[in-house]
């Protein structure tokens, strides 16, 4: 299951992670975000133990959305050692996101 990322757990869960991290910035009212949601959940299961997969609700976590300069959703970021290494905007396929995350695991 994808983790819910908040400003409270961001440092420990994302920045301090030894594993690569995939963050999905989304909102409940966003149609493409709802389409991407089940894909993110599948990736969380597939990469369990090899990567952290998290979801950031931009309505609830405006500070994080601002820090990542999220202007469009869904936006997916891959972080390695606390640094953004990939950024995608828009809904993507499971295979595309899986291949992307695989590069960093």
Which active-site residues does the annotation give? 30, 33
43 is written with which tokens?
């990736």
Cβ 20 vs Cβ 80: under 8 Å: yes
Query: SS3 of 62, please?
Result: helix
Residue 15 DSSP code: I
CB half-sphere exposure, 105, CA atoms < 13 A? 17
User: Rounded to whole angstroms, how far apart are CA atoms 93 and 105?
Assistant: 19
């Amino acid at each position: 299951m994808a983790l819910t990322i908040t400003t409270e757990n961001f440092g420990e869960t994302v920045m301090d992670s030894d594993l690569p991290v995939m963050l999905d910035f989304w909102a409940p009212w966003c149609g493409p975000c709802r389409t991407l949601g089940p894909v993110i959940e599948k990736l969380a299961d597939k990469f369990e133990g090899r990567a952290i997969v998290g979801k950031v609700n931009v309505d609830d976590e405006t500070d994080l959305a601002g820090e990542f300069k999220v202007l469009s959703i869904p936006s997916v970021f891959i972080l390695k050692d606390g640094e953004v290494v990939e950024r995608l905007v828009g809904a993507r396929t499971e295979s595309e996101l899986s291949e992307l995350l695989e590069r960093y695991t």
